[in-house]
Amino acid sequence: MPEFNRINRRSVLGAAAATGVALSMPRIARAATSEQVVRITATTPGSAGAVWRPAIARLGPDATAGLNIEWVSGNPGQVQIQLTTGALDVSVFGAVGLANVVNRGSDIVLFGPALNNHGRWIVRADSPYRKPADLKGKRIATQPETTETYQQARVAASLIGIDLKKDVEVIFGPPTANVALFERGDVDGVIVLEPTATRLIGAGAREIARVGDMWRHATGEPGDPFLVGLAAHRTWLEANRPLASRIARLFAATNASLRRNPKLFVDLHSEIGFKDNETAAIDLLPTRLTDVYPVKWDDSVWKVIDKQLDVAIKVGVLDKRPPRPIYDAVTLGDV
């Protein structure tokens, strides 16, 4: 994981006003001012969150007036550690991972939308496997056991009768290592996130399932399920609620702009991590990524989070529920 670097940026008041973000400052729960630097995660190219920073810039200066944002780079998984340790004020967290952290004593809370689940089950083009159940007894690769990618894939798989702990041989590693195993034929399939999945599809691989679809079909819940939301320490959020709300609305507005104009994914492909010559994959981005970016932060989302925790407890991914809700209600308004 590369060392995170810091890039000062004036940003954030609201092109549609921000989303409800609670920033994490475990050391000092101070009230925010227009001059206060807010440290927000800027995930590295190769992750779905990498599009936020350039997409926010496309909203124009009015969208980012009045705040001083310091974008702090970090890989998926690293950004949660950065938030927990106080290197970030605002990061992203998934429900199961956050519940585990809260159960160990951290008081971090979700306060706005970030990403829907975009885990994909991928096999090679010539593979005989057509559905996840076909991979029982086979070998697959995915991200480490502690990541939301794996935990939510395990939760969703359990709903269709697959125990990833018992029925499949799982090799854990970072996405680059998993792709290398896949391309060498050392594993029969991979569970990966976007945009890595689209890169594999563009190179000829085949998608046999989406984690979100597995969840939706098993539960009857509409829409794509929650993967990660904006998160901050509860003390920061309580001290800076108006600021957190502006940030949350900004992210919701940014996600809304991506949904309204999917061509932005093509325009911003290099920021997402695609080279110009990856034309087949780039052309797929508008149809494959749009649904990844949610705009809602309401009881429909919180019910899904609660359900995810219930199922996680049932399959042993989570020991118990935290003593209080891990989400905070922030009104986003129309985006």
pLDDT tens digits in sequence order for the chain, 335 residues long = 333 233 333 333 233 333 333 333 333 344 444 457 889 998 888 899 999 999 999 998 888 777 788 999 877 667 888 898 888 999 999 999 999 999 999 999 999 999 999 999 999 999 999 999 999 999 999 999 888 999 999 999 999 999 999 999 999 999 899 999 999 999 999 999 999 999 999 999 999 999 999 999 998 888 789 999 999 999 999 999 888 999 999 999 999 999 999 999 999 999 999 999 999 999 999 999 999 999 999 999 999 999 999 999 998 889 999 999 999 986 555 44
Q: How many CA atoms lie within 13 A of 259 on its CB side?
A: 15
CA 241, 245, 246, 250 dihedral sign is positive
Indicate the domain borders of the chain: 6-116+226-279+289-315, 120-219
- HEC string of 109-125 equals EEEEEEEECCCEEEECC
Q: How is 264-310 classified by DSSP, letter by letter?
A: HHHHTHHHHT--TT-HHHHHHHHHHHGGGS----SHHHHHHHHHHHH
pLDDT, residue 85, reads: 85
- pTM (two decimals): 0.86
Cα–Cα separations (whole angstroms), residue 136 to 91, 119, 157, 188: 35, 18, 11, 10
Count other Cβ atoms within 10 Å, centred on residue 248.
30
Cα–Cα distance, 4 to 81 (Å, whole number) = 12
Q: How is 135-152 classified by DSSP, letter by letter?
A: GTTSEEEES-TTSHHHHH
In terms of Cα–Cα distance, which of 160, 256, 161 is closest to 213?
Answer: 160
**β-strands 67-74, 6-11 pairing:** antiparallel
**Do 6-116+226-279+289-315 and 120-219 fold alike per CATH?**
yes
Per the listing, tokens 């899904």 go with 304
Quick one: fold of 120-219? Answer: D-Maltodextrin-Binding Protein; domain 2 (3.40.190)
On the 0-12 / 13-18 / 19+ scale of CB atoms within 10 A, 197 is buried
Coil/strand/helix, residue 90: strand
Quick one: fold of 6-116+226-279+289-315? Answer: D-Maltodextrin-Binding Protein; domain 2 (3.40.190)
Bond prior to 323 in cis (omega within 30° of 0):
no
Q: Are 194 and 207 in contact (CB under 8 A)?
A: no
Amino acid residing at 236: W
pLDDT, residue 146, reads: 86
Cα–Cα distance, 41 to 31 (Å, whole number) = 20
